[in-house]
Structure 1
Amino acid sequence: MTGTRLNESNLFAWLVGGSLVVSAVAGAGCALLISGKFGGSLFIGGVLATANFLWMRRGVEAALQLQPRNASRFAVLRYLLRLAVMAVVLYLLIVRLGVDIFGLLIGLSVLVLNITVFSIYLSTRKGG
């Protein structure tokens, strides 16, 4: 990722790497400035959102490799499984481990922020 320019062919790698870096930097900064629990929750939320994004992409790629009649059922089952696993993980993080909910929500939004920033960057770079 270092030394290469951002373009459509390497956008996914930049998006994942950028999300993890922003989550780590924001989490460390919030841990120092606000509280360790808030910063850790922000970092966990960013990592969780990125992992969910990677899992979703793998599911879509796998569904596209299947026959059309099987792909829709496969995609729906993978979607429901992913949502169920995310629900269980979020439940455990909030109820059992007691993470800061606001930090977790901000961390879960890091990926959306990066997608927005990359979209604006790519559209303005091409004269958009």
Structure 2
Amino acid sequence: MAETKINESNIFSWLVRGSLLLTAVLGAAGALLISPRFGASLFAGGLLALANFFWIRAGLEAALRMQPRNASRFAILRYVLRLAIMAAFLYLLIVVLKADIFGLVIGLSVLVLNIIAFSIYLSTRKGG
């Protein structure tokens, strides 16, 4: 059986690429089939979820490089700051730009769907 290109060492890049592709495809399909506002909201939600994912990863890597006594306070401050900025972006999208709520929620869920799909794929490719 041929070895797969996706493994534990390169899953992050595959996850990001897959999420970007799925976000673009779903955003375009939503814009064509439902409404341009829905498609744009879905695309914005997907990009926001990916930005959040990158920020979480960078924060965790930075916290792991720190001394243990400083890492917890750093991680908590970054967590609160990240949530506040994400809340501000969501407020801007929903209230100011009048984004479609359902498109935004689907877009924010694209990363989770890809994580589930990649987890199932990685667990079944070696026989469970």
Same fold (TM over 0.5): yes
Q: Distance in 2 between matches of 1:17 and 1:74?
A: 29
Unaligned ranges ≥5, structure 2: none
Cα drift, residue 17 of structure 1: 1.0
CA distance in 2, matches of 1:70, 1:76: 10
Which letter maps to 1:100? Answer: D
Matches within 5 A, 1:6-17: 6-17=6-17
Cα separation, 2, equivalents of 1:93 and 1:21? 22
The superposition leaves residues 3-48 of structure 1 with CA deviations (integer Å, 9 ceiling, x where unpaired) of x811111100000111011000000011011100001100100010
Q: TM-score, normalised by structure 2?
A: 0.96
Q: Which residue of 1 aligns with 2:23?
A: 23
Q: How many aligned residue pairs are there?
A: 125
Could you tell me how far apart the structure 1 residues matched to 2:127 and 2:64 are?
Answer: 32
Q: Deviations over 1:40-73 (max 9, x none)?
A: 1001000100010000000000000000000000
RMSD, matched Cα: 0.8
Shift of 1:126: 1.4
Partner of 1:82, secondary structure, is helix
- Runs of at least 5 residues in structure 1 that lack an aligned partner in the other structure: none
